């Protein structure tokens, strides 16, 4: 070391010492921790919780219930992360009279952390009702399922103020607190004596032949429930929608709902619910039955409704359908051949009745169209080349023309479906073209069990270029037309030719008032080669 400056000697010694060390560098170890480790008393009304995550690695978040299944009532503001920070978890309202437990799982490749969430029971719901013994079912249903209240008088029931009377249905047997439909459906009212009464009609709107508006009233105490039991002919699982009428419980969220696939041994709360926008106060709930929890063929799906009123009512009917209609199989629009392609797939999950719904259930609709800004509840087609006036969205198809058979307040409010093919020809760079126009159309059966007066025509401007006939009630038929020399100003309209007697039915028999409604689906317009 002789000859080196004195100030360099200590540094050189440090380097030599470090270089001679045999201890390897240690890799960074993944670590995740979360605080707090639990929330022990979350209000039944729900809350937003903040979790502090300390992590030096990437991770993903899952939310599970106490059975290890996905907890639908927990929502996190992120699904993954890679460093320290916070996670916001929203806890939904607990609709059940029992507490529940969930877990936020923060999972890395080799480490993880867990935060337990305990939510309090809902005190306003009351004790869990004890359903009666499972009945020996008369029959079994396939999907879609429909049942309606029927009167021995049929539709010929006088109108007027709501009348309560001893129950008298043509398709229901009443024994104690149990209603058994001839088709197999069973409805139990839990708790003390139901004091059933028949309501006929259930609303004062009908002016004539009010037999489509029937209902049954019952007396409820806190915690009492309707238990609807739908015996199934085939196994049942997947995404479902259950709908029923009850005008005097008009706000769906006031009533807790749950379902069971094991005869009432386990109940699963429902949080997705709506009231249909129609002339009837119909409610719908959506839920999913996993395949592992399916209703076996020969067993029943149970739906529990805990009414918010002490005098609760079921009216008109109920239905169980798939949550969404199947999508159409039309080729998409393109630049040289397909001018217009519309299968109304944007509304396959619309909260409205399917084509096969019977009787009064057929009337249940969604919001009216608003393409021209005139109608109230908006449904607007997603296709810019389509305009609608006085129409309703249905699951995967469109109802053209609206009319309220209960109120009988509208006279000839005709619907129009406008197809702006000229706009599309311009987008395609075409000046003129011969077109092939195809679509499916169906008539409609009104609540009076009569076909609507839908004399459907295809207009070009104000000129009738085709008549869509004959229409089959509640069954789609394919129709095809040719349009010669269409240009960039061509507009086609599907509508109903009005009756020559627009005031028909305003006299002694208002139920015969003209009704122009019809259904449309799968509009497909191409350039003829």
Q: Establish whether the linkage from the previous residue to 40 is cis, with ω within 30° of 0.
A: no
DSSP-assigned letter for residue 359: G
Query: What pLDDT is recorded for position 148?
Result: 92
Quick check: 279 and 399 in contact, CB under 8 A?
no
- Residue 85 CA to its chain's centroid (Å): 37
Which domains can be identified in the chain, with CATH numbers? 32-119 (2.60.40.10), 145-322 (2.60.120), 338-527 (2.60.120)
Query: What pLDDT is recorded for position 14?
Result: 44
Scanning the structure block, which residue is given the tokens 């002694």? 508
What would the DSSP string read from start to end of 177-209? TEEEETTS-EEEE-SS----EEESSSSS---S-
SS3 content of the chain, % helix, strand, coil (to 5): 5, 40, 50
Query: What pLDDT is recorded for position 413?
Result: 64
- Using the Cα atoms of residue 327, residue 331, residue 332 and residue 338 in order, give the sign of their dihedral: negative
pTM of structure:
0.75
Quick check: 312 and 226 in contact, CB under 8 A?
yes
Closest CA to 501 of 493, 512, 490, 511: 512
Burial 219-245 (b: 16+ CB within 10 A, else e): bbeebbbbbbbbbbeeebbeebbbbbb
Task: Compute the half-sphere exposure of residue 324: CA atoms within 13 Å on the CB side of its CA.
Answer: 12
What lies within 8 Å, CB to CB, of 254 at 6+ separation is: 308
Query: What pLDDT is recorded for position 24?
Result: 60
**Residues in the chain where the model's pLDDT stays below 70:** 1-26, 124-131, 160-162, 204-207, 247-254, 275-281, 367-380, 403-413, 499-514
């Amino acid at each position: 070391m002789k000859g080196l400056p004195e100030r360099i000697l200590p540094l050189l010694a440090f380097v030599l010492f470090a270089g001679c060390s045999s201890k390897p560098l240690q890799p960074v170890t993944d670590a995740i921790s979360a605080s707090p480790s639990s929330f022990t008393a979350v209000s039944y009304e729900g809350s937003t919780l903040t979790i502090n995550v300390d992590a030096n690695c990437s991770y993903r978040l899952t939310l599970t219930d106490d059975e290890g299944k996905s907890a639908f009532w927990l929502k996190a503001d992120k699904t993954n992360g890679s460093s320290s920070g916070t996670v916001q978890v929203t806890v939904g309202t607990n609709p059940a009279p029992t507490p529940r437990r969930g877990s936020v799982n923060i999972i890395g490749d080799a480490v993880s952390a867990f935060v337990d969430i305990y939510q309090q029971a809902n005190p306003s719901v009351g004790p869990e009702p004890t359903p009666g013994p499972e009945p020996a079912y008369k029959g079994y249903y396939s999907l879609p399922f429909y049942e309606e209240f029927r009167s021995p008088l049929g539709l010929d029931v006088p109108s007027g103020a709501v009348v309560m009377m001893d129950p008298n249905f043509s398709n229901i047997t009443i024994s104690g607190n149990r209603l058994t439909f001839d088709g197999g459906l069973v409805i139990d009212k839990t708790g003390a004596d139901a004091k059933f009464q028949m309501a006929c009609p259930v609303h004062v709107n009908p002016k004539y032949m009010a037999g489509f508006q029937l209902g049954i009233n019952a007396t409820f105490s806190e915690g009492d429930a309707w238990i609807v039991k739908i015996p199934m002919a085939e196994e049942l699982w997947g995404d479902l929608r259950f709908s029923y009428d009850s005008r005097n419980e008009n706000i769906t969220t006031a009533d807790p709902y749950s379902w069971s696939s094991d005869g009432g041994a386990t109940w699963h709360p429902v949080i997705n619910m709506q009231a249909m926008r129609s002339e009837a106060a119909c409610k719908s709930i959506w839920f999913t039955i996993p395949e592992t929890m399916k209703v076996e063929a020969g067993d029943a799906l149970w739906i529990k409704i805990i009414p918010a009123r002490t005098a609760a009512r079921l009216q008109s009917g109920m239905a169980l359908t798939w949550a969404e209609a199947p999508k159409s199989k039309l080729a998409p629009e393109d630049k040289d051949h397909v001018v217009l392609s519309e299968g109304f797939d944007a509304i396959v999950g619309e909260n409205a009745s399917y084509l096969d719904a019977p009787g009064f259930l057929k009337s249940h609709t969604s919001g009216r169209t608003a393409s021209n800004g005139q109608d109230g509840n908006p449904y607007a087609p997603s296709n810019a080349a389509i305009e609608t006036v006085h129409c309703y969205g249905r699951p995967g198809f469109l109802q053209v023309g609206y009319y309220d058979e209960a109120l009988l307040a509208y006279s000839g409010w005709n619907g129009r479906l406008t197809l702006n093919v000229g706009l599309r020809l311009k987008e395609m760079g075409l000046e003129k073209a011969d077109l092939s126009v195809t679509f499916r159309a169906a008539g409609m059966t009104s609540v009076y069990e009569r076909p609507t007066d839908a004399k459907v025509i295809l207009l070009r401007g104000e000129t009738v270029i085709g008549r869509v006939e004959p229409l089959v009630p509640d069954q789609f038929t394919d129709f095809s037309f040719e349009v010669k020399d269409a240009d960039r100003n061509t507009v086609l309209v599907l509508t109903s030719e009005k009756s020559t007697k627009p005031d028909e039915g305003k006299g002694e028999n208002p139920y015969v008032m003209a009704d122009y409604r019809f259904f449309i689906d799968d509009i497909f317009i191409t350039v003829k080669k």
